[in-house]
Amino acid sequence: MIEQGSPEWHQLRAGKATASRIADIMAQGGGKMRAAYMRQLVAERLTGLPTPGGFKSGSMQRGNEVEAEAREAYEYHTGLFVNQVAFVDHPTINMAGASPDGLVGLDGGVEIKCPDSTTHIDTLQGAAIDGGYLKQMHWNMACTGRQWWDYVSFDPRLKDPAMRLFIKRIPRDDYLIGHMEKAVKDFLIDVRGTVAQLRNQYVHKPVE
């Protein structure tokens, strides 16, 4: 099994459109984030190498460290087992896929967030789930064929154990998934076109 975050995992994802960047792909009017992500995938395809992970803030690093504890808390609370996977290719779209935080049973999955305490408390008080996370979960469903995804927010620093774990089940929205799949196809056409253009323009070109 390839571990998420390992060099092998990064190589497995290189050049592919993934769930964690689906919101960038769907940026309205193109957007700088979409263009930046397209440049990243073009570079990965031309080099065969994954893009370096870059800087991780203290909160991001802590989130990675706490994720295993959050998964255990989810399993204990729900009685469900989380099956960890490295990467799932989209069933029909080449060079696209997802790295779920976990698959649950035959029909579900889980997205685990370990935010700072103020963000977690906002979630407990009914704050809407970030739209980017909703797209990420639906792309996970598109790739895995699952019917629901549990959004989990976890903060073990809260003194009251009842407040540490938040779970909300997100049902599959096929209309949204269809819209996302079209956006990803269009995005990947642009990526392939840019790669082909560069290869045709510069590969085997005589030195002047």
The answer to whether the Cα torsion of 125, 131, 165, 167 is positive or negative is positive
Q: Quote the pLDDT of residue 114.
A: 96
3-state secondary structure of 149: strand
Q: Which CATH class is domain 7-202?
A: alpha beta
User: Where does residue 86 fall: left (phi above 0), alpha (psi -120 to 50 degrees), or beta otherwise?
Assistant: alpha
Spatial separation of the C-alpha atoms in residues 84 and 104, rounded to whole Å: 9
- Rounded average pLDDT per 10-residue block, the chain, 208 residues: 88 95 85 92 95 57 80 97 96 97 97 96 97 97 98 97 97 97 96 94 67
Spatial separation of the C-alpha atoms in residues 99 and 112, rounded to whole Å: 12
Q: Which run of H or E residues covers position 64?
A: helix 58-78
Q: Quote the pLDDT of residue 159.
A: 96
Q: Quote the pLDDT of residue 1.
A: 74
Complete DSSP assignment for 151-164: EEEE-TTSSSGGGS
Q: Quote the pLDDT of residue 55.
A: 40
Q: Quote the pLDDT of residue 53.
A: 63
Is residue 45 within 8 Å of 195, Cβ to Cβ? Answer: yes
- The predicted model scores a pTM of 0.90
Spatial separation of the C-alpha atoms in residues 166 and 154, rounded to whole Å: 6
Q: Quote the pLDDT of residue 54.
A: 46
Q: Quote the pLDDT of residue 65.
A: 78
Selection from 48, 4, 51, 18 nearest residue 136 by Cα: 18
